Chain A
Amino acid sequence: MPLIELKSVSKIYPLGSQQVIAVDDLSLSIEAGEFTVLAGPSGSGKTTLLNLIGCLDEPSRGEVWLDGQEVGGAPQPQLAKLRLRKIGFIFQSYNLIPVLTAAENAEFTLMLMGVPKSRRRQRVVELFAELGLAGLEERKPSDLSGGQQQRVAIARAMASQPAVVLADEPTASLDSQASEELLALMRRLNREQGATFVFSSHDPLVISRAQRVVTLRDGRLESDR
């Protein structure tokens, strides 16, 4: 059974009197442990697709299955719980809560889950060591570089050991070297810890590092290799 399965999913946004078909009758399945990139030009539906998988949005048609469970149409509090337990999120930028330190940001999902402070800290120290963030625990996000901020976001996404980490253009605000480093790090976590990653990008360099490339165009699957 695939970890993520989209069955003939469409997402249609009303736009004035017209409609925008952001995702058009798309079917896709992703297995646990995959390292998948969603590629495609701007407006092709990458963000929309990630939002559907991440339970941030509901499909207009079709079914979204996550870890053997259909998630479309569940009430909001339940979706929040699902996001908390099964999904890690990384966004393009401004991921972190500015008043919290790097470690507190990374602990945030564990805090929401009610994990005791000492266990939380222990997990974050491990992750920080692994992500090359050791010693930066008490820094505020504003005192970190863009690459470091994104790594803190990875730490937060990984802290609760979710079924899948979703990242929407995680390298878009980084220079090429930082992008390269971040990607290498995600790839290592994927190999060593078996973490499932689904992320979007239109950077050819990033795309070339992925194990599987799903290319979208106008909300449809253009290629999958």
Chain B
Amino acid sequence: MDLVLLAWKNLWRSRRRTLITLIALSFSLMLVQAFHNLSYGVYSAMIDSGVRAGSGHLVVYHQDYVASRDEQFSFAPGQLREQLSALAGVAEVLPRLYLPGLAQSSRESRGILLTGVIPQAEQRVNPFLRDLPTDQQLESLSGRQAILGSRLLKELQLKIGNKFVVTLQNASGDLVSEMFRVRGAVQTGIKTIDSSLLMVGHQRAAALAGLPGEIHELAIVLQSQKFERLVFPALQQLLKNHPQQVGLSWEEAMPNLANAIRLDYASQKFIFIILLLIVTIGVVNTLLMSVMERFREFGVILAVGASAMRLRLLVFSEALLLGLVSMLLGSALGSLATWYLQEVGINLRYFIDETLEFGGVVFDPVLRAAWDRPYMLQIAGFMLLLSLAAAVYPAIKAGRIKPAEAMRHH
């Protein structure tokens, strides 16, 4: 305890040097925390919108559908939807039927992906559908209303209320056609979706394809991503009764997004480590200077009976205190920056005009941070360790001082 007190006093002996080191440590910690929290927030939002518009946090497919995307691998969900909806943390369970086909207006024809959905359920979670006015929403499972991707609508030269025909191959291999009417249009910003999406009531689509009650995808949207750890095992349990079906997480179902995020985190980590290492070198320099300046004083301390170990501990205590103070200061600054980035955010609209797409998911132009407290704690602890590591060489130096020599030459 007395040693720690002495270390604390020693730290403030060269006030300016200590302050500069403290600021360097605190600022780099703040930068790392704030920057991480910003990308954490952006990714969470991205995952959320990607998951809601896409295949959900968790998704069930026929095991052969995953790789082939062949529409013959449909399945009957049975009680799965009800069972999953009953689990804690599940916001919505969305059955979907995907049928490739051809859409024809009086002027043009285009390849489309006819998607049979439960409209009310989709509207509750899908951000693009939610933004549509009520008079553009699908009203029933079996109606002839259809929502088209904005680009598809334009290419077919259709307007809301116009009729068009969809042709596809049904389950028995026959070509079948059905007339639909444009109810609304969505713009997601993703080209492939905007030019091929054709959303209709599930019953109508299933009847057309001759697959009544069947689906290709059962997307599960959770209240938040953190429920994944709870719901995923429960899903696997339920799927024991459905040996043909597999349950995937969003990372497996949307590998592009997951990989893009992983890659970005990895490059961030690399930059963070380099930043912290540079700062650590500065700390080594500070500690070493302060040890060399006190050569004679350390000689006296050793002469009056302190062991070399105690001197080493003194140097470590100084580094520990330096690390602790900057850990607290840096985390306070990091929290402040995170708070600002969460409340105000960074509006990319000032810089870029186009729709922002990342890993196949469109994101909000206002980047907002989210709190990743375990990470903040972890990186703060890491910095503390680095300051201790920075003390190793100076401590060895201090421990090697020979009192007789220190007294004679300094």
A contact residues vs B (CB 8 Å cutoff):
47, 51, 54, 56-57, 76-77, 80-81, 83-85, 87-89, 91, 94-100, 108-109, 111-113, 156-157, 168
Contacts and interface: CB of A to CB of B under 8 A. Distances in A.
Interface residues of B, number: 24
B6 A80 contact: no
A67 B13 CA distance: 39
A153 to B, nearest CB: 9
Contacts of A98: 13, 297
B9 interface: yes
Contact of B307 (A57, A80, A168): A80
Contacts, number: 67
A99 B300 contact: no
Nearest to B297: A97
B86 to A, nearest CB: 64
B297 A56 contact: no
A108 B300 CA distance: 11
Contact of A112 (B13, B296, B310, B403): B310
A5 B402 CA distance: 24
A81 B301 CA distance: 13
22 contacts: A54-B303, A56-B303, A56-B403, A56-B407, A77-B308, A77-B309, A80-B302, A80-B305, A80-B306, A80-B308, A81-B307, A83-B303, A84-B306, A85-B305, A89-B303, A91-B303, A94-B300, A95-B300, A97-B301, A99-B13, A108-B304, A112-B310
A25 B208 CA distance: 114
Q: Pick from B10, B304, B403 the residue with the most CB of A within 10 Å.
A: B304
Contacts of A109: 304-305
Contacts of B302: 80
Contact of A89 (B2, B297, B304): B304
B371 to A, nearest CB: 40
Nearest to A84: B305
Contact of B408 (A47, A85, A87): A47
Contacts of A99: 6, 9-10, 12-13
A91 B300 contact: yes
B234 interface: no
Given A89-B303, A99-B10, A157-B304, 17 more contacts: A56-B404, A57-B404, A80-B305, A83-B304, A84-B304, A84-B306, A87-B305, A94-B297, A97-B297, A97-B301, A99-B6, A99-B12, A99-B13, A108-B301, A109-B305, A112-B306, A156-B304
B293 to A, nearest CB: 11
Given A56-B303, A80-B305, A51 B404 contact: yes
A112 B304 contact: yes
3 smallest A-B Cβ distances: which pairs?
A: A84-B305, A99-B9, A80-B307
Contacts of A80: 302, 305-308
Contacts of A95: 300
Nearest to A120: B2
